[in-house]
Amino acid sequence: MISTIAIVAGALLLLGLAVLAGLWVWSRMVAGKVETALPPAGEIADVAGGKIHFTDQGEGRPIVMIHGLAGHLQNFTYATTGALAGEYRVIALDRPGSGYSERDSDEQARIPEQARMIAEFLAAKGIEKPLIVGHSLGGAVALALGLLYPESVSGLALIAPLTTLPDEGAKVFDALKIANPGVRRLVAETLAVPMSIRRGEESLAFVFAPNPPPSDFSMRGGGLLGLRPRAFMAASTDYQAVALDLPDLTARFSELKMPVGVLYGDRDRVLDHRLHLDAL
């Protein structure tokens, strides 16, 4: 005879599965609407291990711009690329796995792998010795490019770069701390989108502090692209990968032979400027 406890447990399990299935369907629906509203802004280039989505404007000395964690190339096309395109050739790209760029496996989330994919992209597109602009995690990838592919770049311009492993990450990224890939995928496909919608305003306020977020960031700045399961999966995987490679890169900064410029805000709430400037 089936016990009452077993019946209740079975019913709760079915209810839980139904809720997860509903969240999966709803998340896919939201992602579809986001991609309709914000389709790819540029071109797609194939590289070993994935694809790179990029925009290419202007003529002259090339500048390549690499965004940070959970960002997109629209973070630069919002106001920067157009202002520079009158004098330079300006390429903004989605880091491998972010935006509309793709990577074949979690291995391509490693910082040296992201640098390799970008170096391959530069060679394929004939972008010779560009100035590399890197923001936040994109700064770490830019530094990896300078260390591992010095012949591919002429200099680094780093904006609030991640240069060393902090003892503790910013609280706003706590939801990304999922070490198990299977659990990460489950959360990405079910809970991540509603969680991002619920905490979206709070997260933006933290990231842009002490300034208010731009009112049009969700569309013009690409913010809505974060409301997709693949965006959470990529950001969480990036977050986990940093600790695997950044300490070794930090120890090699003295090997850099090209000009490096750094810009930091002393009230940045995401990364402590003192820690990251000291590392350089």
Tell me the pLDDT tens digit for each residue of 237-257. Answer: 999 999 999 999 999 999 999
Q: At what angle do helices 4-37 and 181-190 cross, to 10 degrees?
A: 70
Give the pLDDT confidence score for residue 13 in this predicted structure.
63
Residue 156's beta-bridge partner residues? 132, 260
CA-to-CA dists, residue 176 to 45, 197, 234, 240, angstroms: 28, 15, 10, 8
Would residue 21 count as lying in a domain?
A: no
Comparing 6-15, 24-33, 86-95, which segment has the lowest mean pLDDT? 6-15
CATH number assigned to the domain comprising residue 182: 3.40.50.1820
Would residue 210 count as lying in a domain?
A: yes
Q: Domain of 182?
A: 44-279
Give the pLDDT confidence score for residue 15 in this predicted structure.
62
Q: Is the pLDDT of residue 3 over 80?
A: no
Would residue 37 count as lying in a domain?
A: no
Phi, psi values for residue 102, rounded to 5°:
-130, 155
pTM score over 0.85: yes
State the total domains in the chain: 1
- Asked if 64 and 129 count as a contact pair (C-beta separation under 8 A), the reply is no
pLDDT classification of 212: cutoffs 50, 70, 90: very high
Q: Is the pLDDT of residue 1 over 60?
A: no
